Structure 1
C-alpha cells in the first residue's frame, strides 16, 4: 500500500524539513504553499515523489479539490498542519483585521484540513495527524497575542480530536517548538537576536530538522501516542 502524507506550509522552514523527512522515507508527499512558487519548484525538482500545490487553507473548496486529487492515489495516513503566520503587533496599536487573519491562517486552516481529512482516516480505521503549535500558546510575550491565541486554539483542537478519533486508530498529537532557526524567526528576531538568545536557558536555537524529526517520530508511530502535545526546545517551554 502506498504511504501518503500531506504537509501544509511545506515548502519552507519547518514544513520543508518535515516534507523532506517523509519523502526520504518513501512516502508520496503532497505539500501546500501560499505564494512562493520558486520554493515549491525547487522542492519538487529535488524529490520525484513530492508534489507542491498552491492552496489557501481558509478556502474549503480548495481543500476539497486537494482531497480529491490526493484520494485518486489513496487515503493519506499522515496529515501535518504546519502552515501559519505570526502577525505580531501591539493589540491597541494594530487592527483587529490582522488578529482575524492570524486566527484564520493558523487555526481555521488547521480546522479545515482536519475536517476534510479526519473522516477519511476514521473510515480507513488508521491515520496520524500532527498539528504544529508553538511555545507562544502558553508563554505570553508582548505583541504576540494573536499568534498565541491561534496556537492555543490549535492545541485545544488537537486534544479534542484525539479523544474523539482514538477509537478509529487515528492518532492526533501536537508539537510545540520554542525558537526555531527559520525565516519567520529571523524576521521576528531582527535587531534583538542577542536578547532572545540570552532568554533561552541553553543559549541556542533549535534547527528545523530537529522539529521534523519529532513530527516524523509521532506520525510514523515509532513513538505511538495520542492526545499529546510534545514541547521541544532548549528550555523555552519550561514552566
Structure 2
C-alpha cells in the first residue's frame, strides 16, 4: 500500500513539472489575452493596412451591427498575405474565449478583444427570452432604470436569481438589462463609474463614455447601450 501511494505521488509530481495537468493547447487557448498577443495582431493589422492602401483585415458585418462588435479581425487575410504566422491560441477561431476586433477604424484602428463567455451567457438568456415572447405580448420588463431601459424580470423567464455576466475589467458581476424592443444588454455602470474616477478624462454630458473602457483596457464593452456622463456619474444615453 505504501509503495502504491508513493507511485501516485511521483506521478502527480511529474504532471506538475511537465505542465500536463491540463493540455498545453487548452492552456494556450483559454488564457486571458495579453499585451504580447494584442501587440502582435496590432502590428500585423498596421502592416496589412499600409500594404493594402488603407484597407483593413476585417470580416463583413451588417451596417447596423453595434460598433464594438462590428469589425472582427480576419485572421485568414492576415495569414494568407504573410502578415501573421498563426492565429492567437486564445482567439475564437482557435477555440479560445476571445474574439479579436478592431475599433476606431476611421481614425486610429486599434485591436481589442471581446470576452465570448459574456456572449454565450446572453445567447442562453435570449433563448429563454424567445420562449417567453412566443407566449406573451410584452417583454419581461422589471423596474425601469432609465428612459427605455429596464431591469429584466428574471422570474418571468424561469430564473431564480437575476442573471449577470462577469466583468472582464473588474471581475464584478454585471447585471443584464432589457430595452423597450426586448433586446438584452450588459450594464457596465459599475465599471464606467470606476474608470471615470481612475483615469483622467474630459468627457462631457452627451459624449459616449464607453470608450474610456475600450481605450484603457484590452477589452471592449460589448453588448452595451450607449452611456454618457451626468453629475460625474455614468447614465444610459438611449434616444
TM-score normalised by the shorter chain: which range applies? under 0.3
Bigger Rg over Cα: 2
Name which structure has the greater RCO, CA cutoff 8 Å, separation 6+: 1
More helix as a share of residues: 1
TM-score, normalised via structure 1 length: 0.27
